Amino acid sequence: LTPGSQKRQRREYTDVHSNESNEEETLEFSANSNAASQSPDGEVGIIESIQLKNFMCHSNLGPFQFGSNLNFVVGTNGSGKSSVLTALIVGLGGKATATNRGSSLKMFIQKGETSADISITLRNQGRDAFKPELYGTSITVNQRISQDGSRTCKLRSKSGTVISSKKEELIGILDHFNIQVVDNPVSVLTQEMSKQFLQTKNEGDKYKFFMKATQLEQMKEDYSFIGKTKKNTRVQIEQGEERLEELKQLYLEKKEIFKSIAFVNDMQNRLKDLKHQMAWAVVSEMEKEIELLKEGVRAEEGNTELLQKVEECLVKVNEAEKRYKAIQDKLITVSEEAQALHPQCISLKAEVQAKRKTVNETEIVYNRSKTELKRLEKDREQLHKRIEELKSCANQVSEPEKLERQRRIAYLREQLKAFHDEEIMIGQQVDQFQQAISKCREEHSRLRRESSEVQQALDAQQKQLRDLKDSKTNTLKRFGPHIPAFLEAIEVAHKQGHFRKKPLGPLGALIHPKDPELILAIESCLKGLLQAFCCDNHSDERALQFLMSKYYARGHRPQIIVNKFQNKIYDTSQRAVRHPEFPTVLTALEIDNPVVANCLIDMRGIETVLLIKNSRRAREVMQCNRPPKNCKEAFTAEGDQVFERRYYSSSFVRPKFLSQDVEAEISHLDKEIENKRAQLTASQQRLCSIENEIRQNEDHLYGHRRHQKQLQVKI
């Protein structure tokens, strides 16, 4: 392939053979080249070589060295002739559809591979060379095609240095060399287009082919577009000229207004100067008046009578000052006395208020008693009248009737006593039923609370079991099912430049206990820090907070620690605990990243915390004797926390994040879940039993209260 402007030179034929590493077919090139007679002038845009890797069905084809003039590519079917032509079109920026060999670039990648590479070297010599100071005597175009159908272009110089990776630079090179590799069938004639051309008998189709090959069709479209643009531009110019006249008139009007405004500014400046002059004139007048007053004062100073008046006034002033001082002293004395009597005054006021309250209460009691006395006197009068009436009636009743009434009264009294006794018994039974119902309801509420707590624990354990099962394939899911996606989002954001330094976390995923028996102790010590993340600066922290808002609910986000990233672990030799028998948290962990170790040292002081498996031994080390130097606390294998004078039992039963035996954890959780389910079932059964008992007691209570009301009616 040579540019259209290139002159043909004398031809000489040679054969070039290139064996493909993974194929049996052989391509044969016949090249017209005469290196000795070539002139450097005009030798630009000539394809010097081409190489294909994982392209179509060829894993490694080339590199092929082409001659300066005419080149023939021959070979058996499947040897790669069409692949070279297709790679030439794609490598110089053509689309997949332009090759008639595929609809997408990813179809050109060899099966089983992830990418394909095309390398084309163009000659860049002579006076028409393209940026020879950058590229040198040749330009190499490297195209890489990815599985997603995208491609990346790199333009290299003669020495292999990457000069540019922009598509616009490649288009500029092709335009400069007059290479029309995509749209001109004279430059590249594919098999389909050659068949179509040879089978075409219509002169009109051949004319279209001629128009396309000579680019006259494109020129015609460009000419038509230029004509329309010219017409639109003329209309805009005419409109602009009309608008220009209006703007000129507006400019003259604004110019006149500006002149008048300038005159007003001059007048304002003149007014300001006159105001200053007037102010200084007032000052001058006042100075003259002051001079006259000074002369009057000097004249009065010679007057003797004035001096006598001044002395008399001074005497009066002294007397007034003495009286003022005496009054001031008296006022201070009175204030001190008032201050001394203030507590007594407060106590007397409180006493008066208390007595007033007592008087008011006494008056209320007196009025009530007076009212009650009047009511009782009225009742007494009524009772007296009733007694007199009964006496008069009794005197009139005969003796048998009196005896009958007495017997009736005795019978009614006995019946009344029986009713009273029954009422007392029923009241006691009602109290018993009420107490039983209250006790059952308390038991019911307690069981409901316990069932709710068991259900919550069961839900938490089931969630933990799911997380553990998921963690068998991905250990990061122990820290939450969304953690892998969140870490991937951090990686993408870091590649996009949103972080100065990539945040680290969760910290629990970056540490590894050396002794499995100390895992629970380490988790009890670090707690929430196992889920924390570490950032190098506050800008990265804000970016991480924004990213967390997409994956964590508010109030459930892990801690973010801002700590300058360093490449080595702190020197803790002066403040670390050194015990011959027990390790610290720092020495019990394998921490590959020094940033993680420094973060745990700063936040938890892991170099000062001992790990002692046996709780009795931990008490001996920390409490029976003086704790080891620099030791602040210790943790046992059960997770208990031991201080010099205190001991706290752990709320953790099993490790959650750092456990190394996942199957054992899953088996243990399965057993605990079964126990919780059995406990929940027993609680539900007990609740049903208590509810039935409450209903029975309420029925009994209702019956006894109804009987109690009947007795009250009888009484």
What is the pLDDT confidence band of residue 25, given thresholds at 50, 70 and 90?
very low
Whether 351 is covered by a domain: the verdict is no
Task: State the amino acid at position 278 in one-letter form.
Answer: M
- What stretch of H or E contains 115? strand 115-124
pLDDT in tens, 356-385: 888 888 888 888 888 878 888 887 888 888
pLDDT for res 542:
94
CA-closest candidate to residue 138, choices 146, 147, 129: 129
- Rounded Cα distance between 424 and 430, Å, is 10
The length of the chain, given as a count of residues: 715
pLDDT for res 636:
96
Q: Which tokens hold the place of 356?
A: 């007033």
Read off the pLDDT of each residue in 248-268 and give the average, rounded to a whole number: 80
pLDDT in tens, 649-680: 988 777 888 876 666 677 777 888 888 888 88
Work out the percent of the chain whose per-residue pLDDT is above 90. 24
pLDDT in tens, 152-176: 999 999 888 999 988 888 888 888 8
What is the pLDDT confidence band of residue 256, given thresholds at 50, 70 and 90?
confident
Burial 188-214 (b: 16+ CB within 10 A, else e): bebeeeeeeeeeeeeeeeeeebeeebe
Determine how β-strand 151-156 pairs with β-strand 138-146: antiparallel
pLDDT for res 603:
94
Helices (H), 557-614: 594-604
pLDDT in tens, 63-86: 888 887 788 888 887 788 888 888
For residue 22, pLDDT beyond 50: no
- Rounded Cα distance between 711 and 409, Å, is 19
Residue whose token pair is 């610290």: 584
Q: Which of 183, 202, 224 is the last residue of a domain?
A: 183
| C-alpha separations of 183 from 98, 193, 587 in Å | 8, 12, 70
Read off the pLDDT of each residue in 471-487 and give the average, rounded to a whole number: 81
Boundaries of domain holding 487: 474-660
Q: Contact, 539 vs 674, CB < 8 A?
A: no
Bridge partners, residue 641, by sequence: 635, 648
Return the CATH number at 173. Answer: 3.40.50.300
For residue 400, whether the previous peptide bond is cis, meaning omega lies within 30 degrees of 0, is no
Whether 159 is covered by a domain: the verdict is yes
What is the pLDDT confidence band of residue 31, given thresholds at 50, 70 and 90?
very low
What is the pLDDT confidence band of residue 9, given thresholds at 50, 70 and 90?
very low
Residue 35, exposed/middle/buried by CB under 10 A (0-12, 13-18, 19+)? exposed
Bridge partners, residue 472, by sequence: none
- Which of 222-226, 329-333, 528-532, 662-666 has the weakest average pLDDT? 662-666
- Rounded Cα distance between 655 and 518, Å, is 10
pLDDT in tens, 84-95: 888 888 888 888
- Rounded Cα distance between 159 and 173, Å, is 18
| C-alpha separations of 357 from 345, 352, 362, 368 in Å | 18, 9, 9, 17
Whether 261 is covered by a domain: the verdict is no
Instruction: Please tell me what DSSP assigns to residue 626.
Output: P
Q: Contact, 610 vs 577, CB < 8 A?
A: yes
Pick the most confident of 123-127, 197-201, 286-290, 396-400: 123-127
Q: Which of 610, 643, 660 is the last residue of a domain?
A: 660
For residue 599, pLDDT beyond 90: yes
Whether 126 is covered by a domain: the verdict is yes
pTM for the whole structure: 0.37
Q: Which of 183, 218, 242 is the last residue of a domain?
A: 183
With a CB cutoff of 8 Å and minimum separation 6, the contacts of 70 are: 11, 31, 32
Average pLDDT in the chain: 82
- Rounded Cα distance between 694 and 699, Å, is 9
Q: Contact, 109 vs 145, CB < 8 A?
A: yes
Residue whose token pair is 């990061």: 476
Whether 93 is covered by a domain: the verdict is yes
For residue 689, pLDDT beyond 80: yes
Count the domains in the chain. 2
Whether 481 is covered by a domain: the verdict is yes
Read off the pLDDT of each residue in 265-292 and give the average, rounded to a whole number: 81
pLDDT for res 694:
86
For residue 321, pLDDT beyond 90: no
pLDDT in tens, 427-457: 888 888 888 888 888 888 888 888 888 888 8
